[in-house]
């Protein structure tokens, strides 16, 4: 028989001498989980009867039995935040997609994210509560996991169920991308700036042509057919490619394009949940021309990469 909500609240409060944050109260298999507040202290409390998949996953501080019900009391740590994200779906970040509006707060709001989120209820705007980069990590002395955990606990306490995003920005290594996915981030921002070869801009036209001709004829024919034999209408602007311009773009950005394809296909294409993807292909002191911007985006999109 399922545990009644009122009974679960009573047991939680008796076991902790605290007060249940009612908005956080969530039903799980054979039990309930909630945030309980006792003065300045906050705990996660899970009340179960019978087998519950969460029981083996919690990092438990103390346990007791109240009225025949198992009560587990836990700290708000990384392990338990991961359990919450897995079993309380609305407390986990989710993708924003390309429709609608989202607004990011970087990580400067920190633990205040939980207070911010309810302001967006029924507003048709999705908050991105963790928008974190390596630079933020250095300044705030807080890592990517701590940033998404803070958002998780804030949303869980306030009971905000309309969805929020978490963006891991400026990632360069495969290791960092894997970590961000394991931490539950809903958006991955890949920085390909180190794959851009700005030395091409210093080369003569003859040297560029010689290096470009090292590519297989089949590839060169395909690029010519794609970009030199037509003009492209983008909004009110017509984009036209000259042969010399095309060769330089391919040599300068080719490695970045291939790297983005590899990362996307290896880690993001077949995730069991929706992932937003953003791509940084700029470098300090270098502005993208319309032709560069168009070719990079076109090559990635026609190879199945979906941007947000």
The mean pLDDT of 129-156, rounded to a whole number, is: 85
Instruction: Give 119's DSSP letter.
Output: G
Domain ranges in the chain are 5-79, 89-191, 193-302
Rounded Cα gap, residues 142 and 138, in angstroms: 7
Contact 256, 282 (CB under 8 A): no
Quick count: other Cβ atoms within 10 Å of Cβ 43? 21
pTM of the predicted model as reported, rounded to 2 decimal places: 0.87
CA distances from 195 to 28, 124, 245, 259, 260 (A): 46, 38, 19, 8, 10
Question: Quick one: what percent of the chain has pLDDT higher than 70?
Answer: 97
Residues 146-189: tens digit of each pLDDT: 989 999 999 999 999 999 999 999 999 999 999 999 999 999 99
Locate 47 and state its tokens.
């009340």
Rounded Cα gap, residues 275 and 17, in angstroms: 41
Instruction: For strands 101-104 and 125-132, give the pairing.
Output: parallel
Residues 216-272: tens digit of each pLDDT: 999 999 999 999 999 999 999 999 999 999 999 999 999 999 999 999 999 999 888
Contact 103, 117 (CB under 8 A): no
């Amino acid at each position: 028989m399922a545990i009644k909500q009122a009974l679960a609240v009573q047991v939680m409060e008796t076991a902790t001498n605290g007060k249940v944050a009612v908005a956080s109260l969530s039903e799980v298999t054979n039990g309930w989980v909630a945030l309980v507040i006792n003065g300045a202290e906050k705990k996660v409390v899970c009340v179960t009867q019978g087998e519950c998949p969460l029981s083996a996953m919690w990092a438990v501080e103390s346990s007791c039995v109240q009225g025949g019900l198992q009560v587990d009391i836990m700290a708000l740590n990384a392990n338990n935040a991961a359990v919450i994200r897995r079993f309380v779906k609305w407390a986990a970040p989710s993708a924003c997609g390309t429709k609608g509006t989202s607004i990011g707060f970087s990580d400067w709001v920190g633990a205040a994210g939980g207070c911010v989120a309810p302001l967006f209820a029924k507003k048709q705007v999705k908050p991105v509560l963790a928008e974190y980069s390596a630079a933020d990590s250095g300044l705030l002395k807080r890592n990517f996991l701590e940033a998404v955990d803070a958002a998780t606990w804030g949303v869980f306490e306030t009971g905000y169920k309309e969805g929020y995003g978490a963006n891991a920005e400026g990632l360069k290594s495969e290791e960092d991308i894997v970590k961000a996915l394991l931490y539950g981030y809903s958006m991955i921002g890949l920085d390909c700036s180190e794959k851009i070869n700005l030395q091409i801009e210093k080369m003569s036209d003859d040297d560029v042509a010689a290096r470009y001709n090292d590519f297989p004829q089949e590839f060169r024919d395909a690029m010519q057919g794609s970009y030199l034999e037509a003009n492209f209408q983008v909004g009110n602007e017509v984009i036209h490619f000259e042969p010399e311009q095309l060769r330089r773009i391919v040599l300068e950005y080719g490695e970045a394009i291939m790297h983005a394809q590899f990362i996307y296909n290896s880690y993001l294409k077949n995730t069991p949940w929706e992932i937003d993807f953003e791509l940084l292909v700029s470098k300090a002191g270098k502005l993208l021309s319309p032709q560069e911007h168009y070719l990079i985006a076109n090559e990635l999109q026609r190879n199945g990469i979906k941007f947000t």
